[in-house]
Amino acid sequence: MTLPNRTSYCERYGVRPGEAINLAAVNPADTGDFSSVKDATKALKRTRKQLRKLQDRFYAWNKKALLIVLQAMDTAGKDGTIKHVMRGVNPQGVTVTSFKVPTPEELAHDYLWRVHKAVPRRGRIGIFNRSHYEDVLVVRVHNLVPQNVWARRYQQINSFEQHLSENDVVILKFYLHISLEEQARRLQARLDNPDKRWKFSKGDLKERKLWPDYMAAYTDALQKCSTQHAPWYIIPSDNKWYRNLVVANIIAETLQNINPHYPAPEEGLEGIIVT
């Protein structure tokens, strides 16, 4: 997939429905029109200010929900994206759900059961740190279910997301794209920093050996599940500062297009003086 030079971040990094992609051809170190961290940081601050205003209107409007899905290889920055992009928004209007290994109760239901429960209510922004896509990613790579089971899930996920869209949930899905080399640097940085070492697991090294399998699984998920109602965005993430800027701008663009507005005030308020 080639990324054209466009002003809209949504257009520039979005995966068009049915589009064939080649992740190896997408530069994870891309920084768009920015060559300076300082300039990008200033731009992010402006976008976060805009986001705060848009979220306030979105919360008061209370007509739709916004669901943000974050998927990535380890160290790509799902936690960091949430921390830096959503800084300053009203926490009353945001929920974050992290999907870990399914519990026995969750395994006793269909794989989308736990996901549907976590979908945000109208007026709220919900962020999924990992998501239902784990069931066509790690489940596929580790052969946790037969191929004929996970292969059916792409269409099931599309139908699920269409159902949400038709019931006032706006969906944005971000794949944070890093290189194998950058992941190695970040894992080593965790090992070298005593305060970060707790985040390192020997299992991370085993997962690195499965990188080609994960890239194939991500490619299928991005190609088969990017739709008009639930688009995927491939976010260059070797540079954290640019990753944050792109994600923030796509969220802001989306909220602007929704155009939420404050509800009309109650009639007869003119002339009231509170004493």
List, in sequence order, every residue forming a beta bridge with 177; answer none if it has no partner. 236
Q: Is 135 inside any structural domain?
A: yes
Q: What is the pLDDT of residues 104-156, one digit of tens each?
A: 999 999 999 999 999 999 999 999 999 999 999 999 999 999 999 999 999 99
Q: Is 99 inside any structural domain?
A: yes
Q: Is 1 inside any structural domain?
A: no
pLDDT band at 3 (very low <50, low <70, confident <90, very high): very low
CA gap 110, 118 in Å, rounded: 14
* Angle formed by the axes of helices 37-61 and 78-85, nearest 10°: 70
- The rounded mean pLDDT for the chain is 95
Check whether 4 has a pLDDT greater than 80.
no
Q: Is 39 inside any structural domain?
A: yes
Give the mean pLDDT of 177-190: 97
For residue 34, give its domain range. 9-258
Give the mean pLDDT of 196-218: 94
pLDDT band at 1 (very low <50, low <70, confident <90, very high): very low
Q: Is 190 inside any structural domain?
A: yes
Q: Is 109 inside any structural domain?
A: yes
Q: What is the pLDDT of residues 52-77, one digit of tens each?
A: 999 999 999 999 999 999 999 999 99
Q: Is 268 inside any structural domain?
A: no
Q: What is the pLDDT of residues 80-103, one digit of tens each?
A: 999 999 998 999 999 999 999 999
CATH for 132: 3.40.50.300
Number of domains in the chain: 1
CA torsion through residues 118, 120, 121, 124, sign: positive
Count of other CB atoms within 10 angstroms of residue 165: 17
Q: Is 132 inside any structural domain?
A: yes
